[in-house]
Structure 1
Amino acid sequence: MLKTSLFLVGLLASTSAYAQDAAERDHASAPDVAASVAKTDDSAIVVSATRTPIEIDRVAASVTVLDKDSIDRSQDIGVTELLLRTPGVSIARNGGYGTSTSLRIRGAESEQTVVVIDGIKLNDPSSTGGGYNFANLLTGDAARIEVLRGPQSILWGSQAIGGVVNIVTPLPDGPLEGSFDIEAGSRETVSARVAIGGKTGPLSFRLGGQAFTTDGISAIAPAFGGVEPDGYTNRSVSGRAVLEIAPGVSADLRGYFADGRVDIDAFNADSPEYSLNREFVGYAGINFDLLGGRFRNRAGYGYTNTDRENYNPARARAITFDAAGRNRRFEYQGSFAVARGWDLMIGAENEKSRFRSVSPAASLAMPIPAPAQGRAEITSFYGQLSGDLIEGLTLTGGVRNDDHSRYGSKTLFAAGGVYRAPWGTILRANYGEGFKAPSLFQLFSEYGNIALAPEQARGWEAGAEQQLMDGAVSVGATYFERDTTNQIAFNSCTTTSADPRCFVPGSTTTRRSGFYYNVSKAYAQGIEARASLRPVKNLLIDGNFTWAEAIDRTPGAATFNRFLARRPRHTANGSINYTFDQGGSIGAAVRWSGEAFDNAANTTRFAPYTLVDLRGDVPITSQLRIFARVENVFDEQYSTAFRYNSLGRSFYAGFRGRF
Structure 2
Amino acid sequence: MTTPALAQDCEPDCEPNVTADYRTPEETITVTATGTRGDVSASGQAITVIGEDEIEAVQGADLTRVLERAPGVAVTRNGGPGSFTAVRLRGSEAEQVLAVLDDVRLADVAAPSGGFDFGTLLALDLDKLEVLRSSNSTIWGSDAIGGVVVASTRAEGGLRGSAEYGARDTVSGMVSGGVSDPDTGFLGLSGTWFSTDGISAAEGGTEDDGFEQWALNGHARFYFNDRFEVFARARYAEGDLDIDGFPAPDFILADTLETQQTRQLTGTTGAVYDAEALFLAVAYSFADTDRDNLDGSGAETFTSEGRSDRLSLRGEWRPFGPFLLHFGAENEWTSYQTLFDAGEDTRIFGAYAQGGIEWRGINAHLGARVDHHADFGTEVSFGADAAYEVAPDWRLRASVGEGFKAPSLFQLHSDYGNLSLEPETSTSFDLGLAYGERSLSDTAVYGAVTLFRRDSANQIAFVSCFGQTTGICIDRPFGTYDNVARTRAQGVEAELWARPQHNVRLGALYALTDSEDRSTGLGLARRPRHAATFTAEVRPLAEVMLAADLRIVSHSFDDAFETVRLDGYSLLTLRGSWDVAEGVQLFGRVENVWHEDYQTAAGYATAGRSAFVGARLAL
TM-score if structure 1 supplies the norm length?
0.87
1:547 match: 512
**SS class of match (2:411):** helix
Is residue 110 from structure 1 mapped to residue 94 from structure 2 by the alignment? yes
1:380-410 deviations in Å (ceiling 9; x for gaps): 111112211x311111111100011011111
- Cα distance in 2 for partners of 1:500, 1:429 equals 49
| 1:4-19 paired onto structure 2 within 5 Å | none
1:423 match: 392
C-alpha contact 2:469 2:475 (8 A) present in aligned 1: no
Alignment equivalent of 1:198, drawn from 179, 186, 191: 179
- Cα distance in 1 for partners of 2:553, 2:70 equals 13
Is residue 76 from structure 1 mapped to residue 60 from structure 2 by the alignment? yes
1:498-517 deviations in Å (ceiling 9; x for gaps): 2348998526xxx42x5333
1:342 match: 323
1:214 match: 196
Is residue 562 from structure 1 mapped to residue 525 from structure 2 by the alignment? no
C-alpha contact 2:99 2:149 (8 A) present in aligned 1: yes
Alignment equivalent of 1:87, drawn from 71, 95, 100: 71
* Greater relative contact order structure (CA < 8 Å, 6+ sep): 1
Change (3 A) 1:23 1:528: farther
1:331 match: 312
Change (3 A) 1:108 1:500: farther
Q: CA shift at 1:63, angstroms?
A: 0.8
Q: CA shift at 1:423, angstroms?
A: 3.0
Alignment equivalent of 1:304, drawn from 260, 263, 287: 287
Change (3 A) 1:624 1:27: closer
Change (3 A) 1:420 1:183: same
2:147 match: 163
2:431 match: 462
Instruction: Tell me which amino acid in the other structure corresponds to 1:349.
Output: E
1:525 match: 490
1:139 match: 123
- Cα distance in 2 for partners of 1:501, 1:164 equals 39
**SS class of match (1:588):** strand
Change (3 A) 1:24 1:286: closer
C-alpha contact 1:27 1:341 (8 A) present in aligned 2: no
- How many residues get paired? 596
- Cα distance in 2 for partners of 1:479, 1:309 equals 43
Alignment equivalent of 2:266, drawn from 272, 281, 296: 281
Percent identity reads 34
Instruction: Tell me which amino acid in the other structure corresponds to 1:279.
Output: Q
C-alpha contact 2:79 2:605 (8 A) present in aligned 1: yes
Q: CA shift at 1:23, angstroms?
A: 6.5
Instruction: Tell me which amino acid in the other structure corresponds to 2:263.
Output: R
2:224 match: 245
- Cα distance in 1 for partners of 2:155, 2:386 equals 32
- Cα distance in 2 for partners of 1:23, 1:287 equals 12
Is residue 183 from structure 1 mapped to residue 164 from structure 2 by the alignment? yes
Is residue 383 from structure 1 mapped to residue 348 from structure 2 by the alignment? no
- Cα distance in 1 for partners of 2:568, 2:225 equals 58
Q: CA shift at 1:422, angstroms?
A: 3.3
- Cα distance in 1 for partners of 2:3, 2:317 equals 16
Alignment equivalent of 2:234, drawn from 224, 237, 255: 255
- Cα distance in 1 for partners of 2:15, 2:353 equals 28
C-alpha contact 1:275 1:310 (8 A) present in aligned 2: yes
C-alpha contact 2:278 2:318 (8 A) present in aligned 1: yes
Change (3 A) 1:411 1:504: closer
- Cα distance in 1 for partners of 2:460, 2:194 equals 35
Instruction: Tell me which amino acid in the other structure corresponds to 1:311.
Output: L
1:203-223 deviations in Å (ceiling 9; x for gaps): 31221110000000001011x
Change (3 A) 1:626 1:216: same
C-alpha contact 2:3 2:37 (8 A) present in aligned 1: no
- Cα distance in 2 for partners of 1:305, 1:474 equals 40
Q: CA shift at 1:185, angstroms?
A: 0.3
For the aligned residue pairs, the C-alpha RMSD in angstroms reads 2.3
Q: CA shift at 1:526, angstroms?
A: 1.1
Change (3 A) 1:506 1:116: same
**SS class of match (2:598):** coil
1:330-358 deviations in Å (ceiling 9; x for gaps): 11122112234432111111001011112
**SS class of match (2:4):** coil
1:365 match: none
Change (3 A) 1:86 1:655: same
C-alpha contact 1:277 1:308 (8 A) present in aligned 2: yes
TM-score if structure 2 supplies the norm length?
0.92
**SS class of match (1:264):** strand
2:462 match: 490
C-alpha contact 1:248 1:293 (8 A) present in aligned 2: no
2:450 match: 478
1:433 match: 402
C-alpha contact 2:124 2:173 (8 A) present in aligned 1: no
- Cα distance in 1 for partners of 2:324, 2:351 equals 17
1:364-391 deviations in Å (ceiling 9; x for gaps): xxxxxxx242221101111112211x31
**SS class of match (2:597):** coil
Instruction: Tell me which amino acid in the other structure corresponds to 1:384.
Output: Q
Instruction: Tell me which amino acid in the other structure corresponds to 1:190.
Output: V
C-alpha contact 1:258 1:279 (8 A) present in aligned 2: yes
1:230 match: 209
Instruction: Tell me which amino acid in the other structure corresponds to 2:164.
Output: E
1:96 match: 80
2:43 match: 59
2:249 match: none
Alignment equivalent of 1:148, drawn from 132, 156, 173: 132
1:642 match: 602
1:170-219 deviations in Å (ceiling 9; x for gaps): 433xxx41211100000010000010001145131221110000000001
| 1:495-644 paired onto structure 2 within 5 Å | 497-500=466-469, 506=475, 511-512=477-478, 514-554=479-519, 560-644=520-604
1:210-242 deviations in Å (ceiling 9; x for gaps): 0000000001011xxx11000000001112110
Q: CA shift at 1:246, angstroms?
A: 4.0
**SS class of match (1:339):** coil
Q: CA shift at 1:467, angstroms?
A: 4.5
Q: CA shift at 1:447, angstroms?
A: 3.1
**SS class of match (2:54):** helix
- Cα distance in 2 for partners of 1:349, 1:295 equals 19
